[in-house]
Structure 1
Amino acid sequence: MGIFSLFNKKGGKKEDHSTEKSSSKKTRSQSGNTVITGFQNSEVFSNSVIAQRHVARATERKIDAIEFEMSRDIVKTRVPVRNKPDTAANTQQGLSADTQPLNVHADVPAFASTMPMTMPADYLLGQNTEIPKAALAYSESVPVLEEAAILFASGQTEVAEQMLDAAVHHQQLGLATEIGWQMLFDLYRITNNQYKFESLSLDYANKFETSPPLWPEDQNDEQQEKVAGNVATPSIIFPNKLDNGIVKVLAKMREASTKTDTLRLDFSRVKEVDPVGCGLLLRSLKNLRKTRHDLMLVGAQDLAEKIRAILQVGRRDETEAPWLLLLEILQLLHFQNAFEEASIDYCITFEVSPPSFEAPKMNVTSAFPELLNADDDLPSDRFMMPAVVESGVDPLIKDIAEKAAHQSMLIIDCSKLKRVEFSASAELLSGLAPIVSKPGKSIRFEEVNYLVMMLFNAMGLKNIASISLRKH
């Protein structure tokens, strides 16, 4: 019994010892797991911070790259004017090989395609412009006029001028000769080049032995008002979305800033914003601050609210650009209290010292788009077109549709219209077609300049609306 009790004791001691070891191992294991878990959490946090920094750097690099592309000369990448294989057809119309309309400047960039877009047959109502039908038909068979109108609409004014100048002086335009000359006169009016306009007038008088068009008196008045600072400044209209698509708008703004000390920036169409667009606009506004350009801001307060809507205090996004753009706009608007509140939120979010308010040293005013675009003095059946129509015409189409809802024929007054952007002309066609497709509805463009008329014809707007040219 003693031996068995002895074995029992040893067995008991051994069992107790193993239990202690097991317990000890478990404790160490739990402790180790806690350390590992803490380390992993720390590592995950560090990785998330590093990832945020990488995203921020990538966004900044994207903004830098877009800025760099804006500063490059992109004209060299455009497709040169193509020669159309219709020499035989042109020869039948009395044109020699030396007077082919599209071979005037073979090395000059031009728009790649001038084919008018097609529309469903029920939209094409078959209306015509109020110029001689023979002249219109012939002008459509002279591609150089169509090409020049599209180049002008695409912002390539100098190339369009060269093509038109060569066409009226060195080509046989037949029945379209008068249209070619008037297109060039309009181009000089729009670019405010009185010297070339008067020089062309002398050539016109010598060629046709008749009185040439006169430089409009109100054009001189406009020049004097510009000198006195009493006229609306060049307007830069931003599109619906503030993203990397604003590159063209910013390039136009940069070009305009080299020619004038005052700019009008219209943000009234902006519906969405993203960080890249905010970064691009921020840099441009800072440059205008450095050059001390006077600014008229339209819809800037609404833009500030849209930027604020995508921000959250304490949340570090991919870039600081939206925060900094918000602060910049509030400074330009002289909203010091709102600026200080936003700067504190920015300080909390990015753990930096809050920036101080710096009132702009140039003259900054704000305006409301509804006051600037008011046309209360117009007859009820007329709609006044703006000076320039650019892409993103949905608000314009909406206004036209509302006006057209109350009369059978809507007259669209184009007396102030200078230029329609090429892409905007296609948007106008697709936007106006449903309006005129309704029974008893029609649209008439009045006082249209020759460049816009030729663009409208090329794009097919003549098929859904009547077009009346400006009076000489």
Structure 2
Amino acid sequence: PLQQVDVDAADQLAGLMRQWAPQPIDMRWLAPEHLLGALQEAAPTGVRDADPAFWMARLEALRLSNRPDQFDETAIDYCVTYEVSPPSWERARCQVRASNASASTSTPSMSMVSEVSSSFLDTGMLDDGQPQQQLATVELSGQLAGDISGTLSQLDRKLGASTLVHVSCARLIRVDFIAAGDLLNWVLSKQTENRSITFIEAHRLVALFFGAMGINEHARVQVPRD
């Protein structure tokens, strides 16, 4: 089995896989875990001296083999290691069949536009006569990818005069780096409006990504309890 990959091979392999991605070809990979393991061993998380070519080859292999969750986890590790943004997930057109899987790894179609819904709690009075803060609850779902200014504008129209904003992420599948940057800027703009933002029911990977992007420094991020 494959045990080691050198830098030149990793660089050329990443380039080759980028060429394969948009092509309507069908491939069969035998024991791809050996390749992924060798690439990970060559560039562990947190080791900045390791050549980024190993990371690029690993990310491309995960993309071609249709593993978006592992791709995002690896992308976060890359971000933490080098403090730069890695490539965003893009659906590959080619199909890869792994030796240990009977089904194709062709990526299913996924919506690139998030849904937005909202609900409001009526403003009331506390026992001591002080008014409660108005709470707006909105939802993000599906995928957030690329420029999401339109989606964020929809959120803004739902907020009204609320000073507390809960953003439900229960149905949010993933967020790419461009969208996360837009979301961070949105959170910062809400801070200037004296609004408090809390992302609720965020899946673990989404919460980790928010942390890597610094969103959790300006908003609360809550994950579901086990």
TM norm structure 2: 0.50
Q: Does 1:72 align with 2:19?
A: yes
Q: Which structure dedicates a bigger proportion of its chain to strand?
A: 2
1:429 to 166, 184, 187: 184
Residues 261-300 of structure 1: pairs in structure 2 closer than 5 A: 263=109
The aligned residue for residue 4 of structure 1 is: none
The answer to whether the 8 A contact 1:109-1:159 is kept is: no
CA distance in 2, matches of 1:160, 1:434: 27
The aligned residue for residue 199 of structure 2 is: 445
Residue 200 of structure 2 aligns to a residue whose secondary structure is strand
The answer to whether the 8 A contact 1:108-1:159 is kept is: no
The aligned residue for residue 131 of structure 2 is: none
Structure 1: stretches of 5+ with no match in the other structure: 1-68, 75-79, 85-98, 112-147, 165-247, 270-371
CA distance in 1, matches of 2:140, 2:155: 9
CA distance in 1, matches of 2:74, 2:222: 26
The answer to whether the 8 A contact 2:163-2:196 is kept is: yes
Residue 165 of structure 2 aligns to a residue whose secondary structure is strand
The amino acid that maps onto 1:109 is: W
CA RMSD of aligned residues (A): 4.7
1:108–1:258 distance in 2 versus 1, CA, 3 Å: same
The answer to whether the 8 A contact 2:203-2:224 is kept is: yes
1:254 to 93, 113, 125: 93
Q: Deviations along 1:253-295, whole A, 9 cap, x unmatched?
A: 73699647x84667xx8xxxxxxxxxxxxxxxxxxxxxxxxxx
1:414 to 139, 152, 169: 169
Residue 252 of structure 1 aligns to a residue whose secondary structure is coil
CA distance in 2, matches of 1:73, 1:434: 41
How many correspondences in the alignment?
154
The amino acid that maps onto 1:465 is: A
Q: Which structure dedicates a bigger proportion of its chain to helix?
A: 1
The answer to whether the 8 A contact 2:142-2:174 is kept is: yes
1:108 to 46, 51, 54: 54
Q: Deviations along 1:341-362, whole A, 9 cap, x unmatched?
A: xxxxxxxxxxxxxxxxxxxxxx
CA distance in 2, matches of 1:156, 1:404: 32
**Higher Rg of the two aligned structures:** 1
The answer to whether the 8 A contact 1:419-1:452 is kept is: yes
Q: Deviations along 1:294-327, whole A, 9 cap, x unmatched?
A: xxxxxxxxxxxxxxxxxxxxxxxxxxxxxxxxxx
Shift of 1:426: 1.1
The answer to whether the 8 A contact 1:403-1:410 is kept is: no
Q: Deviations along 1:25-48, whole A, 9 cap, x unmatched?
A: xxxxxxxxxxxxxxxxxxxxxxxx
The amino acid that maps onto 2:165 is: L
CA distance in 1, matches of 2:184, 2:219: 10
CA distance in 2, matches of 1:163, 1:436: 28
Residues 5-154 of structure 1: pairs in structure 2 closer than 5 A: 72-73=19-20, 101-102=46-47, 108-110=54-56
Residue 72 of structure 1 aligns to a residue whose secondary structure is helix
The answer to whether the 8 A contact 1:397-1:432 is kept is: no
Shift of 1:393: 0.7
The aligned residue for residue 274 of structure 1 is: none
CA distance in 2, matches of 1:471, 1:429: 24
The aligned residue for residue 208 of structure 2 is: 454
CA distance in 1, matches of 2:151, 2:201: 18
CA distance in 2, matches of 1:162, 1:100: 9
Q: Deviations along 1:168-195, whole A, 9 cap, x unmatched?
A: xxxxxxxxxxxxxxxxxxxxxxxxxxxx
